[in-house]
Chains A and B, each alone.
Chain A
Amino acid sequence: MTDACSHQDAWLSLPWLANGRLSGAERLRVEEHVRGCARCSDGCVMC
């Protein structure tokens, strides 16, 4: 169970999701948000 991650927090963290440098807990939070967010999913392609 992880704390919810806001869209803005996730969006700002996408570059480090892309380069694999998010810490474990943060990565889980961001990934959970991205799975349910079309804009962040699109953003992963662009980031």
Chain B
Amino acid sequence: MAQPTYRGATGVAHEMDLIARVGEGDRKAFEELYYLYHRRLARFLTRLTRRYDIAEEVVNDTFWVVWRKAKSFRGDSQPSTWILGIAYRKARNAFRSSARLAERNLQAELLPPTDKEPSGTEELRDWLTRALAELPVEQRLAVELCYELGHSCEEIATIMDCPVNTVKTRLFHARAKLQRLLPQLATPAGESAADSAGGSSAAKPERRPS
């Protein structure tokens, strides 16, 4: 039988119940919540921080807060929004306390080039990974929350503690930059991106929102 999605009404009600039980100190409920979220959080945070050690530390910090704060969760937002919001704030703190990452000013680095020739899906994933790594971390995070985790604009605004319009603007700039970067990354060295894109207007960024 297929597992309910985390946004399904049944799934949300079950998670609400789990959090309520965690608030009463129920370790079994905490264990179930941990297994429901650990993989999702670890993947999300690894992409965000690009460091397994920091991601794992943030996951642990996040669950520690969930354990302590579950009693005060009133269900004003969905469980996934609440938990990802905690993870986001913990990740920001981890960034700030990491001198090496702070020196990078929260900007991602390009992944090192690989020698092998990727193909098909692997090649597309490689381009996307490289392009995403070029985005400022706030834009990359918005992309992950929208496209990978399927959150609504309002949920992302809650998670990132910013106005809805800021989320839209971050996605707008991210999409424009990805449109510029993908043809370049898909072009073999020595060949111009414009040639590869056929000079298509699709490579041009949309007008900046006022």
Contact = CB atoms under 8 A, between A and B. Distances in A.
Given A15-B171, A43-B206, A46-B179, 17 more contacts: A8-B209, A11-B172, A11-B206, A12-B168, A13-B168, A14-B175, A15-B147, A15-B153, A15-B175, A18-B147, A19-B146, A19-B151, A21-B151, A21-B155, A22-B152, A42-B202, A47-B175
A36 interface: no
Contact of B152 (A14, A18, A21): A21
Contacts of A24: none
A9 to B, nearest CB: 9
B153 A16 contact: yes
Given A21-B152, A42-B202, A46-B202, A12 B172 contact: yes
A46 B150 CA distance: 17
Interface residues of A, number: 17
Closest 9 CB pairs of A and B: A21-B152, A12-B168, A15-B146, A15-B171, A19-B150, A16-B153, A46-B179, A8-B209, A19-B146
B184 to A, nearest CB: 15
Interface residues of B, number: 19
A12 B147 contact: no
A46 B175 contact: yes
Contacts of B153: 13, 15-16, 21
Contacts of A39: 206
Q: Which of A18, A19, A22 has the most CB of B within 10 A?
A: A19
Contact of B209 (A12, A14, A18, A43): A12
Contacts of A18: 147
Interface in B69-94: none
A45 B153 CA distance: 19
Contacts of B150: 19-21
Q: Which of A12, A22, A46 has the most CB of B within 10 A?
A: A12
Nearest to B206: A11
Given A21-B151, A43-B206, A46-B202, A12 B146 contact: no
Contacts of B169: 12
Contacts of B209: 8, 12
Contacts of B146: 15-16, 19
A47 to B, nearest CB: 6
